[in-house]
Amino acid sequence: MFTGIITDIGEVVALRQKGDLGARIATDYPVSGIDIGASIACDGVCLTVVATGEEPRGWFEVEISAETVSKTNIGGNGWHPGKRLNLERALKVGDELGGHIVSGHVDGVAEIVAMRDEGDSTRFTFRAPEALAGFIAQKGSVALNGTSLTVNEVAGAEFGVNIIPHTKAVTTWGQAKVGDLVNLEIDTLARYVARLQDWAGR
């Protein structure tokens, strides 16, 4: 479980396709404190650490299933050596919940369709997959590339968020551009409300 508050920017340093996709990710987290089997959200994707090391920079390795690749922006040329990733360690009991409850189970991929500066912040407009658009509500929460964000407005499958200078500085959002594909996780509460309504309507 995560909060959507990014605590490091990692970098993909190597990929290998051997059954599942494997990735080595450089990090500034002290790798001596990362247990094998620990969960780390990488651009919003909850992945399990299978190896760690410290040369030349601290790194951890993860294995990524074909299902995860198909539901995220990892596939194609999405992840490549040099790709920077928003990282978040799993939530511990007693940690501050500064964002919203994020599972790291990405629902689909949204596209940045517009950007414009508003003061020092940037207003981003995203287009969600049609199947997920109904789960996104004005003033609700979404996780985009692992970042907890508040929805400003919704128009059909498109929705907007504002990203402040601090967020752009401590995440990869400062390098985002129109046309980028981002990992979208809808709010967990919205998912379960829809499921209950569907069940009750049977």
- Residue 78 corresponds to which tokens in the numbers above? 């999405």
DSSP string for residues in 148-159: EEE--EEETTEE
Architecture of the domain defined by 8-89? Beta Barrel (2.40)
Give the tens place of pLDDT for each residue, 13-64.
Answer: 999 998 899 999 999 999 999 999 999 999 999 999 999 999 889 999 999 9
- Give yes or no for residue 69 having a pLDDT over 90: yes
* Beta-bridge partner residues of 64: 21
**Do residues 177 and 115 lie in contact, with contact meaning Cβ atoms separated by under 8 Å?**
yes
Going by pLDDT thresholds of 50, 70 and 90, the confidence category of residue 127 is: very high
- Give yes or no for residue 197 having a pLDDT over 80: no
Rounded to 5, what percent of the chain is helix, strand, coil?
A: 20, 45, 40
Span(s) in the chain for CATH 2.40.30.20:
8-89, 108-200
* Beta-bridge partner residues of 39: 48
- Give yes or no for residue 201 having a pLDDT over 80: no
- Give yes or no for residue 96 having a pLDDT over 80: no
Going by pLDDT thresholds of 50, 70 and 90, the confidence category of residue 81 is: very high
Q: Which of 29, 37, 28, 2 has the alpha carbon at shortest distance from 183?
A: 2
Give the tens place of pLDDT for each residue, 153-163.
Answer: 999 999 999 99
Give the tens place of pLDDT for each residue, 136-173.
Answer: 999 999 999 999 999 999 999 999 999 999 999 999 99
pLDDT of residue 16: 94
Architecture of the domain defined by 108-200? Beta Barrel (2.40)
pLDDT of residue 90: 94
Question: What DSSP character marks residue 135?
Answer: T
Neighbours of 37 (CB within 10 A): 8
pLDDT of residue 77: 84
pLDDT of residue 37: 97
Q: Do the strands 121-127 and 158-163 form a parallel or antiparallel pair, or are they unpaired? A: antiparallel
* Nearest-10 Cα torsion for 191, 113, 80, 172: -80
